Every structure is written in C-alpha cells, then in structure tokens.
Amino acid sequence: MKTNANITKTLILIFLGGFLMAFAESSKENKNKAKLVILHERAFFGEKVEIKINNQKVANLASNKYFEIEVDVDNLDITIYRENRVGYKEKPDIQANLTAEPDKVYYLKIYREVDYFTNKLYLVRISEQTAKKAMKSMNLEKNPLENE
C-alpha cells in the first residue's frame, strides 16, 4: 500500500514540476517582449494603411480599427504607407523609431490632419487612458494581415 502512495506522490511531483518548468519558460520568453497597440483613427475617406515594423509587414489596417502585437525588445523602425487609388504608395507617409522595453505596453495612434493645403498622416504615442477611451468606439482587428 505504501508503494502505491509513494508512486502517486512521485507522479504528482513530476506533473507539478513539469507544469512549473513550462510556466517558468513561458514567463522567460515574455521577458524580452513588449506590446504595441496601434489605433487608426476614423478617416473621412476611410483609407487603409500598411504598417511595417523593422521592414516586416505586420498589418493592413482600415480606419476606426486597432490591433495589438507583441514585439521583441529592441529599437523598432515603424513605417506606415497610406493606400491610394492604385495601391500603397512607394514612399512612406510615416517613419518613426521606438525603443521598446521589456513588459511595457505602448499605445500608438495614427491620425490624419487635413486642411486646405495639407493631407498628412501622423503617429503619436498616447496614454493608456486616452487609448482605452478611443478603443471603446473602435473595432479590434484580430487578423490585421488578412485585409489585403
């Protein structure tokens, strides 16, 4: 009877040890990650933007949508192209750099300024409160690369 109890205890300890090791590995992986939340403000013409991070395409984002992405902790080059009648422009509308730190969330907003002489896109970092308020009236884009 004692042998069955010892075997059961051993199996439980092995199971718990494996679970704890898996948890420790996943938290170690996240240590070198940061999160970007990119919001694309509603635009009059409703144009989409193509977003690249470190020259890798991560999203085609319509206006009034946002998406979230985990990125490696690093200097990030963010490039945004606006869609025109024929496709995306060759020259980027926005080129920005962000130094991402571990376990931080960065809220970035793409907005468009239009007046008589200009029609320009901007990318600004906003506070969590401002972002969450704006996100209430936006839609989450779960598959940002599918909008091609």
The residue ranking higher by pLDDT, 47 or 135, is 135
CA distance 147 to 144: 6
Among left, alpha and beta (phi > 0; psi -120 to 50; other), residue 26 is alpha
> Is 26 a residue whose pLDDT tops 60?
no
Q: 121 and 111: one domain?
A: yes
| 129 and 70 both lie in a single domain | yes
In whole angstroms, give the CA distance from residue 136 to residue 148. 25
Same-domain check for residues 17 and 54: no
Q: Does a structural domain hold residue 131? A: yes
Domain that includes residue 87, residue range: 33-140
Number of domains in the chain: 2
Q: Do 80 and 125 belong together in one domain?
A: yes
Q: Per-residue pLDDT tens for 79-91?
A: 999 877 666 677 8
50 and 75 belong to one structural domain? yes
The overall average pLDDT reported for the chain is 81
pLDDT of residue 23: 54
Q: Rounded to an integer, what distance in angstroms lies between the CA atom of residue 121 and that of residue 112?
A: 4
CA distance 113 to 120: 5
pLDDT tier, 68 (very low <50, low <70, confident <90, very high otherwise): very high
Task: Tell whether 74 is covered by a domain.
Answer: yes
Whether the predicted pLDDT of 118 surpasses 80: no
Q: Are residues 118 and 72 in the same domain?
A: yes
User: Percent of the chain, pLDDT > 70?
Assistant: 72
**At a CB cut-off of 8 Å and minimum separation 6, what does 84 contact?**
47
**25 and 50 co-located in one domain:** no
CATH of the domain at 88: 2.60.40
Q: Determine, yes or no, domain membership for 145.
A: no
Domain-located, residue 24: yes
141 vs 6, higher pLDDT: 141
20 and 93 assigned to the same domain? no
Give the chain as a DSSP string: -HHHHHHHHHHHHHHHHHHHHHHHHHHHHHHTEEEEEEEE---SS---EEEEETTEEEEEE-TTEEEEEEEESSEEEEEEEEB-SSSB-SS-SEEEEEE--TT-EEEEEEEEEE-SS-EEEEEEEE-HHHHHHHHTTSEE-S-TTS--
Angle at 79 between CA 78 and CA 80, to 5 degrees: 125
Are 7 and 57 found together in one domain? Answer: no
